[in-house]
Amino acid sequence: MTAWSNRTAAEGKAIALVPTMGFFHEGHLSLMRSAARQAGAVVVSLFVNPIQFGPAEDLDRYPRDFERDSALAAREQVDALFAPEAAAMYPEGFQTRIAVTELSQGLCGAGRPGHFEGVATVVAKLFHIVRPQVAIFGEKDFQQLAIIRRLVRDLDLDVEIVGQPIVREADGLAMSSRNAYLSAAERQSARCLSRALRWGRELAAGGETDAGRLRAALESMLAADPTVTVEYVAVVHETTLRPQQQIDRHSRLALAVKIGRTRLIDNGLLFAPEQG
């Protein structure tokens, strides 16, 4: 991979990297299209990174379909699909971890200890192997995006990080490879996330400024469906990710629920930019 990147750089082309865990959906394809707009060469990495999964998580059943993914990538302007084996990324004796300490603590980090260390470590490895000038990430994992931005600043990595808006199904559900786990009934219940986001925005637009009250209202709305277990409803500052008491223009509403066995997340600014 690095030899390919060096040759590409010698041809004067900038590289944009789209790091993924595969099982592509329209959200991934939109990241690939954005990458093609930003650089002369596009690399998509496809690696289900074992070190970002906890022992009780879904590493073994995470959806995988390499043939379908390569066919989908071939239809986009993707120059290289980098799909390493776990043993090549983590040979025997591997023991290094990168911790972005503070930003990894709350939200998904609270319920998934070690997850963001696994993400930061693999992303740093991918940057070193692929040597991109630009890397594109989706905003659905906005904590991940904030952590990667911090990682790049803190370690002086020479990569521009670009975030891309969440791509949604027609009924509002944020696209995710994990949506494939949902039964038909669970798929219906999963609409609660985007409904909660919409209702949160309506409450904020209607003058609610108390984050605690807004969270309580949304928690009880989500918990009304017995198949939904709320992990968190949080109002945080969009860049520091610190919990806020008062809602303002920087407030991001972040949600994590379990629907049956499937963990889903969603988020959005409480005051969408188009609302002023």
Residues that bind ligand PAF (CB under 6 A): 19-21, 49, 52, 119, 122-123, 141, 144
Residue 152 is which amino acid? V
CB of 188 to ligand PAF, least distance (A): 25
Contact between 127 and 45 under an 8 Å Cβ cutoff? The reply is no
Answer for the pair 135, 16: CB distance below 8 angstroms, yes or no: yes
Query: Considering Cα of 110, then 83, then 167, then 65, what sign does the dihedral take?
Result: negative
- Amino acid in the structure at residue 266: D
Rank residues 8 and 49 by Cβ distance to ligand PAF and give the closer one. Answer: 49
- Nearer CB in complex with ligand PAF: 4/82: 82
Minimum CB separation of residue 44 from ligand PAF in Å reads 10
Select which of 25, 28, 115, 250 is catalytic. 28
Q: Of 32 and 122, which CB lies nearer to ligand PAF in the complex structure? A: 122
Going across the sheet that includes 80-82, the strands are: 80-82, 41-46, 15-20, 134-138, 160-164
Task: Tell me whether strands 251-259 and 262-269 are parallel, antiparallel or unpaired.
Answer: antiparallel
Tell me how far CA of residue 179 lies from CA of 24, 27, 197, 208, in angstroms.
12, 12, 18, 32
Whole-number minimum distance, CB 272 to ligand PAF, in Å?
23
User: Do the Cβ atoms of 128 and 17 come closer than 8 Å?
Assistant: no
Shortest CB 163 distance to ligand PAF, Å = 12
**Coil, helix or strand for 227?**
coil
Comparing CB distances to ligand PAF, the nearer of 23 and 228 is 23
Is residue 28 flagged as an active site residue?
A: yes
Query: Which DSSP letter does residue 62 get?
Result: S
Quick one: tokens of 246?
């008062």
Comparison of 36 and 135: residue with beta carbon closer to ligand PAF: 135
Can you read off the two tokens belonging to residue 265? 């997340």
Which residues are known catalytic residues? 28
